[in-house]
Amino acid sequence: MAAIALCLLAVLALVLGFEMLMVMGLPSVLARFFYYPAMPDMVVAQKLLGGVNVSTLLAIPFFIFAAEIMAQGSIAARLMALVKRSIGHVTGGLGHTTVASCMAFGAVCGSAPATVAALGRLLHPEMVRAGYREKFSLGLIASSAECALLIPPSITLIVYGWLTGTSVAALFAGGLAVGVVLGLAFSAYVVFETRRSGAAAAPPSSRGERLEALRAGLLALGMPVLILGGIYSGTFTPTEAAAVSVLYALSIEMLVYRSMGLRKLVAVAESSAVTIAAVFILLAVGALLSYFITLARVPDMLGAFIAGQDIGWIGFLLIVNVVLLVAGMFIDPNSILLVMVPTLYPVALSLGIDPVHFGLVVCLNICIGMITPPFGLDLFVASSTLERPVETVIAGIWPFVAANIVVLAVISYVPAISLALPRLLSF
């Protein structure tokens, strides 16, 4: 009975348009008073505070702060210029530059909205001037940014690792492989669109221009090398890597490039603090909801139901993909993780699905949700950043949604793609 009530209350709050804080918090509070009245109030407080009092989660504020520093500074522009000089002259060069730049910036910030905001203004005008249709360029920018949720250091993978106890380093290794596969799928469509529209490639860069771009962007390129190299070599943990990323970004932007003064740094810190506070409030309430979901034995009942249907891991992943794709249309990424993963993860384990593989299936579904109407966050970030109607962004997103679904099917049913690199690195 408690399980049914929890689900109905959450659905009702969502339908009524409540904020996600209330969607997760209201069922927890009502369950406490009506189904567990003997529970001490201190338990609720302990679950709220204990939910975020985890060292792994320290990586999130550091990466968010580092992403804001780089987006407001010049690291993003230098990374994009380096990629453009390297591959901008090939067929679909500007499109490939967009995909590769978003992947590179994602490798230093772990945030899809930050990637759209940082690179959109730089890439969109150039793509339109080169002859690409506006809706295609908007769709490509919004879609390519989602690679930031897969390419380490993905904040989404950090949260999943915290929820399930899965090695974050192993998730990062698997996310790198899946992110590359998704980027290649986007690049394949870029070639098709380039030939259809007749968009011009950038003029070939001279050796001197490429060397100059490399010199200007070398320190910016050092960020992903430092983070990923440090994690995979075992020099530091993902949390320590996040702290290092802030120190590195501050040093480069303020002391070397001199693109940020103290006043601008304070403004960046303020905007980062608002984002961090919103994320951690959701994480705390999500931890409380997960506790009541466990008390109500929702995972056990779901597992028993699926076992009774004898659908196996293939059918289970199909159900998971459909449920998460629909949820992604209406719910933000962190809320999907906090509500869905505690319920679905034990069932996945009981069916023999590897935790890393399952995490990347979940993460890729969340990526698709970021660009899926009506509430895909990247759609609105692209619309506001580039000052274009959100309808225009949505019109250009559908080919990339299709590409995502194809990649999702491959990742779901070919676990070796997700697991090869973590096993190679012995994570």
- CA atoms of 23 and 36, how far apart (whole Å): 19
Q: Could you state, in order of their start, the residue ranges of all structural domains in the chain? A: 55-424
Q: pLDDT tens-digit profile of 313-327?
A: 999 999 899 888 887
Q: Whole-number mean pLDDT of the chain?
A: 81
Average pLDDT (4-27) is 63
Residue pair 64/155 in contact by the 8 Å Cβ criterion = yes
Q: How confident is the model at residue 364 (pLDDT cuts 50, 70, 90)?
A: very high
- Could you give the CA distance from residue 98 to residue 409 in angstroms, rounded to a whole number? 24
The pLDDT assigned to 399 comes to 92
Residue 354: pLDDT band with limits 50, 70, 90: very high
- Total residue count of the chain as it appears in this document: 427
Query: For the purposes of burial, counting CB atoms within 10 Å of the CB of 1, is it exposed (0-12), middle (13-18) or buried (19 or more)?
Result: exposed
For 179, half-sphere exposure in the C-beta direction (CA atoms, 13 angstrom radius) is 31
Whole-model pTM? Answer: 0.79
The token duo for 90 is 């090939």
Give residue 145's pLDDT.
Answer: 84
pLDDT tier, 360 (very low <50, low <70, confident <90, very high otherwise): very high
- Residue pointed to by tokens 């290649």: 184
Provide the 10 A C-beta neighbour count for residue 207: 7
Res 414: pLDDT? 95
**What does the radius of gyration of the chain's CA atoms come to, in whole angstroms?**
22
Q: Is 407's pLDDT higher than 90?
A: yes
pLDDT (tens digit per residue) in 280-304: 887 788 778 777 777 777 766 766 7
pLDDT value, residue 3: 54
| Sign of the four-CA dihedral 180, 160, 118, 240 | negative
- Max distance between CA atoms of the chain, in angstroms, equals 75
Tell the residue number behind the tokens 């290794």, with chain if given: 173
Residue 396, judged by CB atoms within 10 A of its CB (0-12, 13-18, 19+), counts as buried
What pLDDT, on a 0 to 100 scale, did the predictor assign at position 277? 84
* Residue of higher predicted confidence among 229 and 301: 229
Residues 6+ apart with CB under 8 A from 161: 56, 167, 168, 171, 359
CA distance 357 to 127: 35
Is a pLDDT exceeding 70 seen at residue 394? yes
181 pLDDT higher than 90: yes
Distance CA 227, CA 134 (A): 35
The beta strands (E) that lie in 41-165 are given as none
- Residue 160 to residue 176: CA distance in whole angstroms: 16
Token pair in block for residue 271:
């905007």
Report the percentage of the chain scoring pLDDT > 90.
15
Q: Is the pLDDT of residue 152 over 90?
A: no
More reliable by pLDDT, 136 or 112:
136
Read off the pLDDT band of 419 (50, 70, 90). Answer: very high
Q: Report which DSSP code applies to 19.
A: -
What tokens appear for 96 in the block?
A: 């490939």
Quickly list DSSP for 190-253: HHHHHHHHTPPPPPPPPHHHHHHHHHHHHHHHHHHHHHHHHHHTTSS-HHHHHHHHHHHHHIII
Crossing angle of the two packed helices 93-109 and 134-144, in degrees rounded to 10: 30
pLDDT at 418: 93
Lookup: tokens for 254: 């303020």
User: What pLDDT, on the 0 to 100 scale, is given for residue 19?
Assistant: 64
Section 386-393 average pLDDT? 83
* The predicted structure's pLDDT at residue 283: 78
Q: Nearest to residue 192, comparing CAs of 391, 395, 400?
A: 400
pLDDT at 242: 83
